[in-house]
Amino acid sequence: MLIIKSVEELMNVAFRVKSNGKSVGLVPTMGALHAGHVSLLQKARQENEVVVCSIFVNPVQFNHTEDFEKYPRVLEHDMSLIADIADILFIPSEKEIYPTPPTEQYHFGFLETVMEGAARPGHFNGVATIVKRLLDWITPDKAYFGEKDYQQLLIIRQLVKDYKLNVQIVPCPIVREANGLAMSSRNTRLSPEALNKAGLIHRVLSLSTQAIHYPVEQIKQLVIKELNDVPEFEVEYFEIADATTLQPVTDMNTPESVMGFIALHVEGVRLIDNIKYK
Ligand code: PAF
């Protein structure tokens, strides 16, 4: 695995690889890699001749300095996990990515006004800033994103559409722990008891799909109550929305595809997950 720290070298290597007619798959990450990231990398491996993984804890997508500082940084572990899958690992410093404070302003309309967009002002602008720069520097054929961050996936698709970027965005299914908890780098901050209890999130969401014929408001209240009944849990939002536009759904029959989206705090750690209703 070739390790690259400078943008200049990254651009040179990417240019050479593409000039040789090789296909390139990019998996952008913030590190603290787990089986979810590995599944993205494996898919990239299957579909491309050259796989690039980036690890950069992007300061401008965090709303709280404390959250940024607490974000796990475990490079040795990450490298051992991906050494056999990725060809190139890009691990830039903050100065390398942002020699001067970034000023990009992206607009995603309704998509950025709800759920994660509403709860974390500026978050998606920060995500778009780093993703757009990586896509411009590497010009991959495909880039891989997990469906756990479903709203992020839609935002990135919108970015690609708005800027007419020549890249295919490949969504990858959520990878779960044995108890159903969606894999996340933040899970490492949970106690073993909380990790255990957090399996309930997916169980409750899955059960709620059986209530698809109930009124939407009733399904929402059921999910919120079930989870808030656990003392360590505090639901921040649970929304049922059109999977394409994220517009709230009042009648399950109307949109073609409907999903439920949750954010909750478990022992003070903020987790998100989602479920497909139809
Ligand atoms: O999903 C993530 O890990 C991050 O938001 C991303 C896409 C790597 C941008 O920093």
Please give the pLDDT value at position 58.
98
User: Could you identify the atom of ligand 1 that is nearest to the CA of residue 56?
Assistant: 10
Per-residue pLDDT tens over the stretch 146-205: 999 999 999 999 999 999 999 999 999 999 999 999 999 999 999 999 999 999 999 999
Q: Give the CA distances from residue 53 to residues 173, 218, 220, in Å, rounded to whole numbers and listed in that order.
A: 18, 43, 38
Q: What's the mean pLDDT in 109-118?
A: 98
Helix (H) or strand (E) holding 37: helix 35-47
Give 67's pLDDT tier (boundaries 50, 70, 90): confident
Q: Provide mean pLDDT across the span 104-119.
A: 98
Give me the chain's average pLDDT, please: 97
DSSP string for residues in 135-168: HHHH--SEEEEEGGGHHHHHHHHHHHHHTT-S-E
> Quick one: pLDDT band at residue 9, thresholds 50, 70, 90?
very high
Neighbouring C-beta atoms of residue 97, cutoff 10 Å: 20
Tokens of 189: 């901050």
At 65 the pLDDT is: 93
Question: Domains (ranges, CATH) in the chain?
Answer: 2-172 (3.40.50.620), 185-270 (3.30.1300.10)
Measured in Å, residue 128 CA sits from the centre of ligand 1 at 9
Closest to 259 in 3D by CA, of 201, 220, 214: 220
- List ligand 1's pocket residues with C-beta within 6 A: 28-30, 58, 61, 127, 130-131, 149, 152
* Ligand 1 mutation pick, 130, 150, 172, max ligand atoms within 8 A of CB: 130
Distance 210 CA to ligand 1 centre (A): 32
203 and 273 Cβ atoms separated by less than 8 Å: no
Instruction: Quote the pLDDT of residue 91.
Output: 98
Q: Which atom of ligand 1 is nearest to the CA of 127?
A: 9
Q: d(Cα 229, Cα 119) in Å, to the nearest integer?
A: 22
Cβ atoms 261, 241 nearer than 8 A: yes
Q: Is 37 a catalytic residue?
A: yes
pLDDT in tens, 123-145: 999 999 999 999 999 999 999 99
Please compute the mean of the pLDDT values over residues 20-45 and round it to a whole number. 98
| Percent of the chain topping pLDDT 70 | 100
pLDDT the model gives residue 205: 98
Strands of 233-242's sheet, edge to edge? 233-242, 258-266, 269-276
Q: Are 158 and 125 in contact (CB under 8 A)?
A: no
Which atom from ligand 1 is nearest to the alpha carbon of 149? 1
Torsion of CA 155, 44, 28, 66, to 10 degrees: 90
Closest CA to 93 of 55, 131, 128: 55
Which parts of the chain are beta strand (E)? 2-4, 24-29, 50-55, 88-90, 142-146, 168-172, 233-242, 258-266, 269-276
Best probe residue, ligand 1, of 52, 58, 116 (max atoms within 8 Å of C-beta): 58
